[in-house]
Amino acid sequence: MANLSITRRCERDCAFCFAAEERRREPLDMSAETFERAMDLLERSGIPDARLLGGEPTLHPDFASLSDRALERGFALTVMTGGLVPDDVLAYLASLPTDHMTVFLNAATPGVDGDSLVGAQEHVCKTLGECVELGVTIVSADTDQSFLLEIIERHGLRRSVRIGVAHPIVGGANASVPTRDLRGVGVSIEAFVTQAEAHGVSVGFDCGITPCMFSEEFAAAHPDVIESVGTRCGPIVDVLPEGDAIACYALASLVRLPLDGYATRRELIATFTEALGDGPPWIFEECAECTHRAAGRCTGGCRARRMNGGA
């Protein structure tokens, strides 16, 4: 996959935001020309979907026309939103064929986030229904994710949830889960996965989650999770509004590559991998003797976290 960050505009101010440093840069919006070049890269790379994010992608002044162009070129549309979607854009999204569009909503937490944000997200879920897939960014070890299941049932959303963890930005100052609390996060994830399974809801994971965050009992019952989570820390490729590409937002301060001159995502990844090097090998001291690492099931956790000294 690759992400097209079409705008730096955002009305949320999340303390954990991975794009906090990038949002201070110009230009704010991706031009139609740069968007076409980015889609050319997707096409040459054999990537079937245009994943639009920001900032808040629905705040791009030409969001509908960019989305139409992606659909015209045969891409499926994935919109990564924080939920503050303008009414006209929400109506536009509701008019699209449901089999070619997914709205990935980073859910607000009731009782933690403001009522206005929670209400706006409820409106998005009610309007778009089965097109919406929920995700959540865990910001502390006691984050309870069970509210996601209630929202899915209430609005008939897709029966899948994506779990991410707030990781640090290299050179930035966003809020992140302290490394010492990661195993506690694993405990909360295990509890949620058990609940989700009882509701027939599948759970997927973003990068930076390691096998050692989970208990031996959970690992034995969920070998697919253990086999997949620990090796996901690598260049994703995010294309920024000006046409530069970064490996991921957490590493944006380290390497930026111009979109022109790279035929495919594979070429960009190869250059990022060489430029970034191996970096610190792991987060925890115990990683040196870890059976997951020895078996190739883990590369040591979030690279940004490792480069920040495991903070």
Can you give the pTM of this predicted structure? 0.94
Binned at pLDDT 50, 70 and 90, residue 250 comes out as very high
Q: Are 30 and 238 in contact (CB under 8 A)?
A: no
> Could you read off the pLDDT of 180-207 as tens digits, one per residue?
999 999 999 999 999 999 999 999 999 9
> Could you read off the pLDDT of 102-115 as tens digits, one per residue?
999 999 988 788 89
The pLDDT, as a whole number, for residue 306 is 87
pLDDT for residue 51 is more than 90: yes
Please name the residues in contact with 266: beta carbons below 8 A apart, sequence gap of 6 or more: 45
pLDDT for residue 284 is more than 80: no
Looking at residues 79-105, what average pLDDT do you find?
96
> Could you read off the pLDDT of 111-159 as tens digits, one per residue?
788 899 999 999 999 999 999 999 999 998 888 899 999 999 999 999 9
Binned at pLDDT 50, 70 and 90, residue 311 comes out as low
Binned at pLDDT 50, 70 and 90, residue 281 comes out as confident
Looking at residues 302-308, what average pLDDT do you find?
88
The pLDDT, as a whole number, for residue 172 is 77
The pLDDT, as a whole number, for residue 76 is 97
Q: How far is CA 199 from CA 94, 99, 161, 167, 177, in A?
A: 26, 23, 12, 29, 28
Binned at pLDDT 50, 70 and 90, residue 310 comes out as low
> Can you give the chain as a three-state secondary structure string?
CCEEECECCCCCCCCCCCCCCHHHCCCCECCHHHHHHHHHHHHHCCCCEEEEECCCHHHCCCHHHHHHHHHHCCCEEEEEECCCCCHHHHHHHHHCCHHHEEEEEECCCECCECHHHHHHHHHHHHHHHHHEEEEEEECCCCCCCCHHHHHHHHHCCCCEEEEEECCCCCCCCCCCCCHHHHHHHHHHHHHHHHHHHHCCCEEEECCCCCHHHCCHHHHHHCHHHHHHHCCCCCCCCEECCCCEEECCHHHCCCCEEECCCCCCHHHHHHHHHHHHCCCCCCCCHHHHHCHHHHCCCCCCCCHHHHHCCCC
Q: Tell me the C-alpha distance between 82 and 10, whole Å.
A: 9
CA dihedral (86, 139, 154, 115) positive or negative: negative
The pLDDT, as a whole number, for residue 283 is 79
Supply the mean pLDDT for the chain: 93
Query: What residue has token string 């299941």?
Result: 149
CATH superfamily of 3-276: Aldolase class I (3.20.20.70)
> Could you read off the pLDDT of 218-237 as tens digits, one per residue?
999 999 999 989 988 889 99
Looking at residues 30-49, what average pLDDT do you find?
98
Q: Where are the domains of the chain?
A: 3-276
